[in-house]
Structure 1
Amino acid sequence: MKDILTTADAAELLGVSVRTAQLWVESGQLPSWKTPGGHRRIPRQAVLDLIDDPHSDDVRVSARGVVVAAQGRGAHWQLTGLPGSGLLLDVVEDVEALSKLIAVIPPMLIIVENADEPDRKRLITALGNDVRYRQTLIVSATEADVNHPATRMSRRVQVKMSSDVSQMSAAVVDYLRSTKPADNLSAGFPTPWNERARLEAVKQSELLQSAPDTSFDRLVRLAADVTHAPVAMFTLITKDAQWFKSRIGFEGEQTPRDWAFCNSTLMANKFTVIEDLSRVEIFEGNPALAAPFGFRFYAGAPVRDKFDFALGSICVIDVVPRTLAPSEFEALTTIAEATTNLIRVRAQQREEQNAYSAI
């Protein structure tokens, strides 16, 4: 039998459609590489491993939350979000629209409002029976009288539906915080709900302690230039430290994590601007605000892996309070996206090389 399979061959062996096999390749569940002609090739052993252990806990999830909002509440959810979760948020009101969002990579969290409606009940049942979502936390919001979040089974939770989206979001966030591991709760600095998975993503990136890289250095230098900031960095945030893959205007390769302004960026998993650090309570006593540093301004855009986990940020720092001009905001966003794309391309190249070498 062939040791190398096409996507169609793999689909036939797995007993699934070619499209499903393509989705598994895209999500990383099936390792593959591209031929010089651009065709995907899959090791036969990888397909056999998936057949032998289809319920493996190695299914990757993305750093995303999806809300299936009640009719008319989607815009409110977009504004409110899930503060502190570390998740990017997608919102739909139509049950059918959900499948397009979660087809390739399962999200970490799915919230279904009005979960006692027939079509939404069927959705929750289908998700619960689909092994692809066994690592996804599914929160059902119903009209049933639930005083506290009720765990129906592993990673299946029911909460009381609230007429106010802000209250609904707060109830979910409170539950997420209650499930955070004790080591994250006692860290002494804010950590997102998805911190454990995020730290694994940092490790998998293979960027930590890697050699200097001119490609990243150029992007950091550009960030400093376009914002006229004395300090610019590409940071990677580990459990205890903030390590600088590239930096300008700061001596030293790392700081303790409790110095890191980037913790705020990780919590939000979005562009974060703090115009005057001295006015923010969580930074009171932070050594980076005292001499010899005297930092007062921070702006950081997350750098993400292919599963959208925030590995760290492209950030700029100044010694005076200031605002960020719209053009500077756009430039930093673009630089962070370029950094993210560079990381993803290199990760894909490593995966393809590893798959090829495994033959």
Structure 2
Amino acid sequence: MEPDILTTSQAAKLLGISVRTAQLLVESGSLTSWKTPGGHRRVSRADVVALMKQTNPAVAAASAVVVVLAPPARLPLYERLLSSAAECSADLHSEALSASFAVGARLPAAVVVDLSEDNAERRGFLSNLTANPAVGPARIIVVGGPVMREADAIRGPARIDSPQDLPEALRKILVDAPELAPTGIPAGFPVPANEGQRLIALERTGLVDTAPEETFDRLTWLASQNLGMPVSLMTLLTPTRQWFKSRQGLGMSETPRSWAFCNETILQRGVFSVENLAIDKRYASNPAVAGDPHFRFYAGAPVLDRNGFPLGSICVIDYEPRKLSSEQTQTLSALAALASDEVRLRVADRELRWALTELGRTRKH
């Protein structure tokens, strides 16, 4: 007979997720648990089965995507402001129809509607959005437009005066809930305010500590060859490690997280580069700069999952100071986008296999 009481490891196996993801489900309250007199976590098999029927916890996720609907002339401003927002990935639109498709395709963390100009299409989009219960937990932010009445401000969208106020407004929305705030991360490097959600997204990919794969190795090889760099990597950032899913020109398979130049890369959505690490106060004392292997140049672009969370980067490193050309910057960004697409395909494939397994289990009963 199958046990009615499960350990966290047994629950993780039943759910098809990692033990760490199961622990996060427990900590967030999604899976009820209790402690034995000896201090060990236990969960009910009935609760695990109920959670499995609701959704696949391995793929259920928050989002870091922010859909923006704005006048065409203001889209470059939003792109600039949000490219440096650590907690989100912007999906920009000038037409209500394409914005509607974006919202429906994958429920975003927030939807931003710019009403600085009186535009019937955008006002109609906002009206439909606020009336649609399917939007669910996605937050709605209105930029400009008429000042809302007090009652509307309480039950309706949030309002800010200008696009410049948007990054801070989004940070407050996207910050980790207390129960998801990660613990055990060493001090000394920056992390996004939604780091706990980002780490769940990383766990969900199932990529950390897996064998090398030709798909990703091709991308790092292309980065090294096309950019003329001796070192190229695909990095994944765990709470304590920078682990290399693929590497060219470097013997080590990981470093402490505190060594990772990619800590800065995941705080933005463009290419992050440092022309001379030795004279940059953020990195001059980094062990990989001050000592062997004496790195001097770094450039990286974030690898994103389908919910907009940065998992790590595709990056290149040199032993001499350098500067990327605009064409090289575009190349690096394109390779990171290809890596992101591949990660999303992996997760989608696993979802399909999970759904087929669930279908088979249902038919047996």
Fold conserved between structures, TM > 0.5? yes
Spell out the pairing of 1:191-340 with structure 2 (5 A cutoff): 191-340=191-340
2:275 touches 2:297 (CA, 8 Å); kept in 1? yes
How much has 1:84 moved relative to structure 2?
2.7
How much has 1:279 moved relative to structure 2?
4.2
Spell out the pairing of 1:106-117 with structure 2 (5 A cutoff): 106-114=107-115
How much has 1:230 moved relative to structure 2?
2.0
Q: Tell me the residue number matched to 2:135.
A: 133
Alpha-carbon distance in 2 for matches of 1:152, 1:238: 38
Alpha-carbon distance in 2 for matches of 1:105, 1:174: 20
Q: Tell me the residue number matched to 1:91.
A: 92
Corresponding residue SS for 1:107: coil
Which residue identity does 2:299 align to in structure 1? A
Alpha-carbon distance in 1 for matches of 2:177, 2:278: 29
Corresponding residue SS for 1:307: coil
1:145 touches 1:160 (CA, 8 Å); kept in 2? no
Summarize the Cα distance change of 1:59–1:222 in structure 2 as closer, same or farther, 3 Å threshold: closer
Report the more deviating stretch, 59-68 or 232-241: 59-68
1:86 touches 1:267 (CA, 8 Å); kept in 2? yes
2:182 touches 2:195 (CA, 8 Å); kept in 1? no
User: Identity across aligned pairs (percent)?
Assistant: 31
Corresponding residue SS for 2:245: strand
How much has 1:89 moved relative to structure 2?
1.5
1:82 touches 1:173 (CA, 8 Å); kept in 2? no
Alpha-carbon distance in 2 for matches of 1:324, 1:199: 30
2:186 touches 2:240 (CA, 8 Å); kept in 1? no
Corresponding residue SS for 1:208: coil
How much has 1:205 moved relative to structure 2?
0.7
Point out where structure 2 has 5 or more consecutive residues left out of the alignment.
Answer: 1-49, 361-365
Alpha-carbon distance in 1 for matches of 2:123, 2:352: 40
Summarize the Cα distance change of 1:348–1:116 in structure 2 as closer, same or farther, 3 Å threshold: same
1:64 touches 1:88 (CA, 8 Å); kept in 2? yes
Alpha-carbon distance in 2 for matches of 1:276, 1:68: 39
Q: Tell me the residue number matched to 2:80.
A: 79
Deviations 1:65-94 (CA, angstroms, capped at 9, x unpaired): 122336853332233325233422233355
1:234 touches 1:315 (CA, 8 Å); kept in 2? yes
Corresponding residue SS for 2:224: helix
Corresponding residue SS for 1:201: helix
Which residue identity does 1:295 align to in structure 2? F
Corresponding residue SS for 1:283: coil
Point out where structure 1 has 5 or more consecutive residues left out of the alignment.
Answer: 1-48
Alpha-carbon distance in 1 for matches of 2:196, 2:310: 12
Q: Tell me the residue number matched to 1:28.
A: none
